[in-house]
């Protein structure tokens, strides 16, 4: 075979491969375009884009009473098709469906329908299965609640809470005449959570919110004396002067640093790296994720790279290596029932790596997985987890349904709280001193 024949043969082979590649590429483009079109132009049939989300107070949702039933049926059908934990969580979905329809048939109030949607998602027993559209009409702005055991306290009240009449360390013993524990348990039927402990906590955090009335009557123990106060709730959110930082840090002592990571969103990993630079020479570091409700898992992975001591398999089975300026000292992580989603993937990585000691109470029990956003044809947005690439961590820990256990189980103590002492932080400091 001469050189010309060889060249011609190669040219034909290349052209054939090129044509095949173009066909495959064109097919992929068509598929991607079709998926995009379905999501963008036909959101009423299911999937929606996160930047489309609209939120409404419970009394102003865009669903009229005549459409309650059809709106709910759309939600139910998506849950039935897409929600992966129905069997695992022993959910009798058909029974829930029947009960909801019976209630809807006599329902005329938008607030009542909003509460039914909240209750339906709560029955799915998963923190990430929730509505995205429905807001409280009335509330006190700012985080003010601390739960210790089954007791509820005001802690560092916001300006709005103080103006409403609350004081730091008030214990709330009744809500609208109902004992607080009983009120929290009843209200928990509207709360999406994967574990009972987190459900109780999230329910208690809504004591200063209401779907039905701008007035709350609270029985308070203040400085050991019982009083009753009437709280006027707000009807809208008011911008504050300064936004709360995702990451804060300080030196606890000449040998111990402390970094509080309140979120795995925005640039929390960059903020963490900056904070660590100020503390990198200290032999001990405490990282606090007790107030961290999650965000993006890759941000948690990036933070973990600052703390691990070698190449490690992380929560999803992939591997990461220490960052260039990773911390070389000993690490304790504070955790609790509020630690959720990407905060939990971070905790799994750190616990299974053996590069940190975990102190506190169990986490929320839901790492998130693949979350999809949906929209009904009437305008209600909601989200569902549709599963994980794998159901367990590299060492077999379930990624949904069970809270991560700390190495040292340490609960907050009421007497410590009332005296201004952080039980869990104090325990961590004692461990380091030993």
**Beta strands per DSSP E along 268-354:** 284-288, 312-313, 319-320, 330-335
The most distant pair of C-alpha atoms in the chain lies apart, rounded to whole Å, by 105
Q: Which CATH architecture has domain 247-368+404-433?
A: Alpha-Beta Complex (3.90)
Write the Ramachandran bin of 334: left for phi over 0, alpha for psi from -120 to 50, otherwise beta: beta
Q: How far are the Cα atoms of 18, 352, 360 from residue 404, in angstroms, in the given order?
A: 51, 11, 11
The answer to whether 423 and 412 have CB atoms below 8 angstroms apart is yes
Domain spanning 138-232 has what CATH number? 2.30.42.10
Tell me if the domain spanning 50-135 has CATH number 3.30.1060.10: no
Query: Residue ranges of the domains in the chain?
Result: 50-135, 138-232, 247-368+404-433
- Residues in the chain with pLDDT values less than 70: 1-46, 241-243, 389
Query: Can you give the pTM of this predicted structure?
Result: 0.87
Q: What is the model's pLDDT at position 34?
A: 36
**For position 359, what pLDDT does the model report?**
98
| Alpha helices in 217-306, H assignment, sequence order | 268-279, 297-305
Torsion on CA atoms 96, 101, 102, 107, rounded to nearest 10: 130
What are the pLDDT digits (tens) for 52-81?
999 999 999 999 999 999 999 999 999 999
Tens digits of per-residue pLDDT, 184-193?
999 999 999 9
Cβ count within 10 A of residue 79: 22
């Amino acid at each position: 075979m001469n050189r010309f024949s060889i060249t011609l043969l190669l040219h034909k082979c290349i052209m054939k491969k090129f044509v095949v590649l173009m066909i495959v590429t064109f097919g992929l483009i068509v598929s991607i375009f079709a998926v995009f079109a379905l999501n963008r132009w036909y959101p009423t049939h299911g999937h929606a884009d996160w930047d489309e989300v609209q939120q409404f107070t419970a009394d102003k949702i865009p669903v009229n009473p005549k459409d309650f039933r059809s709106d709910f049926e759309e939600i139910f059908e998506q849950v039935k098709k897409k929600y992966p934990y129905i069997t695992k969580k022993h959910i009798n979905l058909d029974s829930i469906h029947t009960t909801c329809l019976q209630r809807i048939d006599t329902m005329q109030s938008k607030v009542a329908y909003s509460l039914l949607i909240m209750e339906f998602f709560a029955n799915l027993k998963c923190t990430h299965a929730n509505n995205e559209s429905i807001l409280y009409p009335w509330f006190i702005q700012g985080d003010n609640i601390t739960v210790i055991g089954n007791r509820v306290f005001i802690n560092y009240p916001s300006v709005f809470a103080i103006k409403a009449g609350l004081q730091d360390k008030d214990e709330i013993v009744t809500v609208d005449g109902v004992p607080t524990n009983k009120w929290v348990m009843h209200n928990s039927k509207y709360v999406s959570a994967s574990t009972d402990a987190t459900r109780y906590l999230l329910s208690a955090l809504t004591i200063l919110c209401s779907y039905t009335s701008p007035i709350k009557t609270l029985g308070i123990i203040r400085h050991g004396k019982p009083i009753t106060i009437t709280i006027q709730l707000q009807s809208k959110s008011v911008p504050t002067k300064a936004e709360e930082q995702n990451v804060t840090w300080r030196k606890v002592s000449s040998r111990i640093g402390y970094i509080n990571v309140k979120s795995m969103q925005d640039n929390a990993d960059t903020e963490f790296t900056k904070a660590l630079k100020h503390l990198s020479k200290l032999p001990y570091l405490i990282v606090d994720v007790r107030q961290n409700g999650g965000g993006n898992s890759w941000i948690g992975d990036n933070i973990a790279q600052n703390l691990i001591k070698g190449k490690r398999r992380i929560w999803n089975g992939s591997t990461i290596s220490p960052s260039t300026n990773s911390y070389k000292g000993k690490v304790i992580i504070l955790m609790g029932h509020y630690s959720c989603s990407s905060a939990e993937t971070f905790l799994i990585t750190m616990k299974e790596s053996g590069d940190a000691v975990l102190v506190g109470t169990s986490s929320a029990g839901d790492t998130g997985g693949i979350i999809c956003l949906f929209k009904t044809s009437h305008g209600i947005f909601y989200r569902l987890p549709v599963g994980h690439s794998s159901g367990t961590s590299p060492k077999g820990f379930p990624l949904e349904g069970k809270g991560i256990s700390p190495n040292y189980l340490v609960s907050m103590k009421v007497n410590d709280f009332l005296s201004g002492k952080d039980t869990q932080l104090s325990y961590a400091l004692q461990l380091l001193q030993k």
